[in-house]
């Protein structure tokens, strides 16, 4: 049961990565392997620390209450992600080319999403290490795929609505955690 949640959290935490890397792909830019790895490690670290914080907080609550709070936070985050939904082309303008400094900055920007998702996951009792590894793995994968498919997918329904789809996934995970 946790495996599905761990994978879903890893995917949901990285929808931003997919959208931004598709924007890079649209402009024929690339994010080299090492820089992608830097971004993924930053996201993984942020997720791990926030999951630990959520787990600590959950020690002071009943499991059902923890699941309820964590689920509500995930639903709220999903609604926020779905409603804010920035245009990927604006992200592409901010990061026209990438070097190691930009990869670190981009890593911390993308890690913000991982922090709130990780905290919510921690409250619901998700295992910190495996969930953080999932976040890091899917960060790397989503950036790699987004770059390659950006020029093809970026103009389709999925590319234009990647943020909303990610938000919907967070809402579904939250509802699952509330009724678990």
What pLDDT, on the 0 to 100 scale, is given for residue 159? 65
Q: What is the mean pLDDT of residues 123-150?
A: 90
For the chain, what is the domain count?
A: 1
What pLDDT, on the 0 to 100 scale, is given for residue 89? 45
pLDDT tens column, 142-169: 999 988 887 677 667 766 676 677 678 7
What pLDDT, on the 0 to 100 scale, is given for residue 154? 61
pLDDT tens column, 49-86: 999 998 888 787 776 776 777 778 778 877 876 776 55
150 membership: H or E segment, kind and range: helix 128-153
Whether residue 172 is predicted with pLDDT greater than 50 in this model: the reply is yes
What pLDDT, on the 0 to 100 scale, is given for residue 94? 46
Please give the structure tokens belonging to residue 177.
Answer: 């955690």
Residue 95 contacts by C-beta under 8 Å, 6 or more apart in sequence? 20, 24, 102, 106
CA angle 39, 41, 44 (to 5 degrees): 110
144 membership: H or E segment, kind and range: helix 128-153
CA distances in angstroms from 102 to 34, 42, 105, 109, listed in the order given: 12, 13, 5, 10
What pLDDT, on the 0 to 100 scale, is given for residue 132? 95
Helical H runs in 2-127?
2-12, 15-26, 33-58, 63-84, 88-94, 100-123
CA–CA distance, 145 with 10 (Å, rounded to integer): 15
- The reply to whether the predicted model has a pTM over 0.75 is no
pLDDT tens column, 2-51: 788 899 989 988 887 787 777 667 666 778 899 999 999 999 999 999 99
What pLDDT, on the 0 to 100 scale, is given for residue 161? 73
Domain that holds residue 124: 2-178
What pLDDT, on the 0 to 100 scale, is given for residue 40? 95
What pLDDT, on the 0 to 100 scale, is given for residue 12? 85
What pLDDT, on the 0 to 100 scale, is given for residue 165? 76
Residue 103 contacts by C-beta under 8 Å, 6 or more apart in sequence? 31, 35, 36, 38, 39
């Amino acid at each position: 049961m946790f495996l599905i949640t761990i994978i879903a959290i890893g995917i949901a935490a990285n929808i931003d990565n997919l959208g931004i890397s598709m924007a890079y792909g649209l402009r024929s830019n690339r994010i080299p392997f090492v820089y992608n790895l830097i971004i993924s490690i930053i996201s993984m670290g942020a997720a791990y620390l926030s999951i630990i914080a959520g787990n600590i907080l959950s020690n002071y609550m009943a499991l059902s209450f923890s699941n309820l709070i964590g689920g509500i936070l995930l639903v709220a985050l999903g609604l926020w992600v779905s409603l804010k939904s920035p245009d990927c082309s604006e992200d592409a303008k901010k990061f026209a080319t990438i070097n190691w400094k930009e990869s670190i900055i981009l890593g911390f920007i993308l890690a913000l999403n991982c922090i709130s998702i990780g905290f919510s996951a921690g409250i619901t009792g998700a295992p910190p290490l495996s969930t953080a590894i999932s976040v890091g793995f899917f960060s790397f994968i989503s950036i790699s795929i987004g770059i390659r498919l950006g020029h093809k997918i970026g103009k389709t329904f999925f590319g234009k609505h990647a943020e909303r789809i990610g938000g919907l996934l967070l809402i579904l995970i939250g509802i699952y955690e509330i009724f678990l």
